[in-house]
Amino acid sequence: MFTKGTQIGKATRFGPDWPGQRCGARTRKGTPCQKPALRGKARCRLHGGKSTGPRTEEGRARIAAAHTTHGRLTKEKRAEAKRRAQVGRQIRAELKDIAARAVAHGWLDPDWKDQFKG
């Protein structure tokens, strides 16, 4: 594995043939970081591997706000979108019933929708 005269130590420990997990975070140069990831983590100590994360609710809220880029996919927005979709389905169903009753009573022609087609 090592040739005569090679010093075994930090310089050779994490060389290009090292089988362990690398950090993989992007460096300023745009290349993946080649430092070894910390044990049980996916990042090296320089890219957040030593971080224990936010402990308080205030800290968690601050991190969540920092990671929210547009707010389009928040739980509240998704719930509101589902509610609006349900209301739209109800309105379309009511309009369909009204149109069917109007056709049944003779107030509308059965082919009344054809005049709106382009």
Per-residue pLDDT 10s for the chain (118 aa) are 555 656 666 656 777 777 888 888 998 999 999 888 888 888 998 998 888 889 999 999 999 888 888 877 888 889 999 999 999 999 999 999 999 999 999 999 999 888 888 6
Q: Look at residue 4 in the predicted model and tell me its pLDDT.
A: 61
Q: Look at residue 6 in the predicted model and tell me its pLDDT.
A: 60
CA distances, 113 to each of 90, 98, 99 (Å): 20, 14, 10
Q: Which residues contact 52 (CB under 8 A, 6 or more apart)?
A: none
* Residue showing tokens 């719930």: 79
Q: Look at residue 2 in the predicted model and tell me its pLDDT.
A: 54
Q: Is the dihedral of CA 71, 74, 79, 81 positive or negative?
A: positive
Domain ranges of the chain: 23-113
Instruction: Report the C-alpha gap between 86 and 91 in whole angstroms.
Output: 9
* Residue showing tokens 């993989």: 24
Which amino acid belongs to residue 104? A
Report yes or no: 7 and 13 within 8 Å, Cβ to Cβ. no
Q: Look at residue 5 in the predicted model and tell me its pLDDT.
A: 59
Q: Where are the beta strands (DSSP E) in the chain?
A: none
pTM over 0.75: no
